[in-house]
Amino acid sequence: MEKRAVIVLADGFEEIEAVAPIDILRRAGIKVDIAGLDKKIVPGSRGIKVETDLLFEEISDADALILPGGMPGSANLAGSDKVLNSVRNLNGKGRLIAAICSSPAYVLIPAGILAGRKVTGFPGTESRFRGIAEFIDRPVIRDVNIITSRGAGAALEFSCSIVEYLAGAKKADDIRRAILIK
């Protein structure tokens, strides 16, 4: 059965952190739905506008939920009860939750899914995790069904980690070789 991932874009998302997973997952044969939080054409933090496939409210289920960072993108995602409830619901089903940059701190903490987990996130967000999760200063951290990442510079490895989770290590390694990740 084909795996399906949903990436949610809100005004002010970090473009690299959104486009890298879309590209890498599609290279791996994973269906990726690009969902606009509240509109179909969403401006990123650098002014690049991305046309989405559908609105987030049209999503019913997925194997993975991907949350790019960027500001105010992460704050806009966190301000959506539908996003927070979807994070909780999919996490409760053991589905993949993948968040990069500021989204681990701004979305996953309010969603309440990080208790006792190992995570990473954008430099400067470390203190937000105190008493909730163990912050680890590495580009990408996977703890069971949650993948977190530091930021734009780690977007390709973050994306390959998602592929590994959904399609296996061989597929992720094939993608790494194909796009020249050492």
Looking at the annotation, which residues are catalytic? 101
3-class SS at 127? helix
* Dist CA 94 CA 92 (whole Å): 5
Residue of 44, 3, 28 lying closest to 160 (CA atoms) = 28
Q: How far is CA 152 from CA 17, 100, 141, in A?
A: 6, 8, 15
Q: How far is CA 165 from CA 13, 104, 126, 159, 162, in A?
A: 24, 18, 25, 10, 5
Residue of 27, 23, 79 lying closest to 56 (CA atoms) = 79
54-55/118-119 β-pairing: unpaired
Q: What are phi and psi of 19, to 5 degrees?
A: -70, -35
